[in-house]
Amino acid sequence: MNFDLQEENLIIKPYKSNESIYVREQKGVYQKIRRLLSWILIFIFISLPFIQYDGQQAILLDIAKQQFRFFSVTFWPQDFILLASIFMVGAFSLFFVTSWLGRVWCGFVCPQTVWTLAYVWVEHRVEGTRNQRVALDKQPMTFNKLQKKGIKHFLWLLMSLISASTFISYFVPVTQLYNNIVQLDCSGTVTFWLCFFTLCTYGNAGWLREKVCTDMCPYARFQAAMFDKSTLLVAYDKSRGEKRSPRKLKDDPKAFGLGDCVDCNLCVEVCPTGIDIRNGLQYECINCALCIDACDETMERFNYSKGLISFTSEQALSNEKSKESIIK
Ligand code: SF4
Ligand code: SF4
């Protein structure tokens, strides 16, 4: 639910507006961690089906034979209670991490985030920087625009196809699957799932992106229930930042009665969900820390101390005895 105050009338919009979000590419400590984790996870996802053990695919969920092979162990349908237990342990671990570190799962390792990061990276390489993408979308259709859009969507579809075939290779022996794909000789069932997962990946990571996190993911909705005052969240230090205002590099903010926020808007431009963290804790925030890196860069440029936006807790911000901010 989105509330909008307009001329003293409270307008309630049931859905968020459909404005496109043009994410500015940002470098920084947290983005290095995110990229490294993304590469590691993608590498593991793609390479696991190729591992052979004892002359067979080491990890294979063979639905036709109703068996799940995991290296030397084979699980049968009656063993799936074990799988349920593993899922339960995984779920409770996730809840524990969420109450401790907030939505780090969402911001750093969720497949939706990892895939979107890769698709946005491709978009940036093909269509250019944030400002160039905004300008390109405003232009009427020209050959240059058509070419850029065509290349981007081709690459997105190719990535989706690779992703879909990798996923299916956990269910169909990898050598058989890729032989069939190369020879265009897949069964009807495999062809259906290949097209289905290709389109799902293309739609989710290419088009829907943050809407999956803000409007579709059920986990996003109930995570706040696991937060307490010591949960680490991405937050803006209002007492230090306000009163915000642009200024020159050499200006002394105290002389003008200003806080440290120079109102450069970078924290908003890098945000993949399009929010302004200066407005306080919002359910759309996935704790990706892009705004931290962006703000730190600005603070460095103005020779102010970093951490105006940081991973911190409500307690730390209100100067109570608590865990310290990760970045000072
Ligand atoms: S507010 Fe910051 S941490 Fe939250 S989603 Fe936006 S950029 Fe990421
Ligand atoms: S990046 Fe930092 S300085 Fe710039 S507007 Fe955001 S909070 Fe203010």
Q: Is residue 165 part of a domain?
A: yes
Span 273-285, mean pLDDT?
92
Same domain, 199 and 300: no
Same domain, 46 and 143: yes
Same domain, 194 and 60: yes
How many angstroms separate the alpha carbon of residue 318 from the centre of ligand 2? 20
Same domain, 127 and 193: yes
Please write the tens of the pLDDT for every residue from 89-130.
999 999 999 999 999 999 999 999 999 999 999 999 999 999
d(CA 122, CA 160): 13
Span 292-304, mean pLDDT?
97
The number of folded domains in the chain is 2
Domain boundary among 139, 173, 208: 208
Nearest CA to ligand 1 atom 6: 271
Query: Structural domain of residue 282, as residue ranges?
Result: 229-317
The mean pLDDT value of the chain amounts to: 90
Q: 324, 316 in Cβ contact below 8 A?
A: yes
Q: Is residue 8 part of a domain?
A: no
Percent of the chain with pLDDT over 90: 78
Q: Is residue 104 part of a domain?
A: no
Same domain, 309 and 235: yes
Residue 151 banded pLDDT, cuts 50, 70, 90: very high
Q: Is residue 295 part of a domain?
A: yes
Give me the pLDDT at residue 83, please.
83
Q: Is residue 258 part of a domain?
A: yes
Pairs from 119-124 (Cβ < 8 Å, separation ≥ 24): 119/156, 119/159, 119/205, 119/206, 119/209, 120/23, 120/25, 120/209, 120/272, 122/152, 122/155, 122/156, 122/159, 123/152, 124/25
Q: 118, 38 in Cβ contact below 8 A?
A: yes
Query: Would you tell me how many other CB atoms lie within 10 Å of the CB of residue 249?
Result: 8
Whether 309 lines ligand 1, by a CB cut-off of 6 Å, is no
Same domain, 37 and 71: yes
Same domain, 305 and 166: no
CA distances from 174 to 55, 181, 184 (A): 13, 10, 15
Indicate whether 182 pLDDT > 90: yes
Using the atom order of ligand 2, give the atom closest to the CA of residue 297. Answer: 1
Indicate whether 321 pLDDT > 70: no
Nearest CA to ligand 2 atom 6: 267
Q: Tell me, what amino acid is at 62? A: D
Indicate whether 14 pLDDT > 80: no
Which of 236, 285, 311 most suits a substitution to test ligand 1, by most atoms within 8 Å of the C-beta? 285
Same domain, 64 and 150: yes
Same domain, 71 and 182: yes
Give me the pLDDT at residue 218, please.
87
Same domain, 203 and 235: no
Residue 200 banded pLDDT, cuts 50, 70, 90: very high
Q: Is residue 192 part of a domain?
A: yes
Domain boundary among 208, 242, 268: 208
Cα 136–Cα 137–Cα 142 angle in degrees, nearest 5: 65
How many angstroms separate the alpha carbon of residue 24 from the centre of ligand 1? 12
Indicate whether 13 pLDDT > 80: no
Q: Is residue 237 part of a domain?
A: yes
Percent of the chain with pLDDT over 70: 91
Same domain, 188 and 236: no
Same domain, 167 and 254: no
Using the atom order of ligand 2, give the atom closest to the CA of residue 291. Answer: 1
Pairs from 81-87 (Cβ < 8 Å, separation ≥ 24): none
Please write the tens of the pLDDT for every residue from 228-252.
889 999 999 999 999 999 999 999 9
Task: Ligand 2: list residues with CB < 6 Å.
Answer: 236, 241, 244, 261-267, 278, 294-295, 298, 308-309
Domain boundary among 208, 242, 276: 208
Indicate whether 164 pLDDT > 80: yes
> Which residues are bridge partners to 53 per DSSP?
56
Query: Would you tell me how many other CB atoms lie within 10 Å of the CB of residue 302?
Result: 15
Span 208-223, mean pLDDT?
88
| 135 or 9, greater pLDDT | 135
Alpha helices in 169-273 (DSSP H): 174-182, 188-201, 210-211, 218-222, 238-241, 266-269
Q: Is residue 221 part of a domain?
A: no
CA distances from 273 to 1, 181, 199, 267 (A): 15, 37, 22, 11
Which of 271, 295, 326 most suits a substitution to test ligand 1, by most atoms within 8 Å of the C-beta? 271
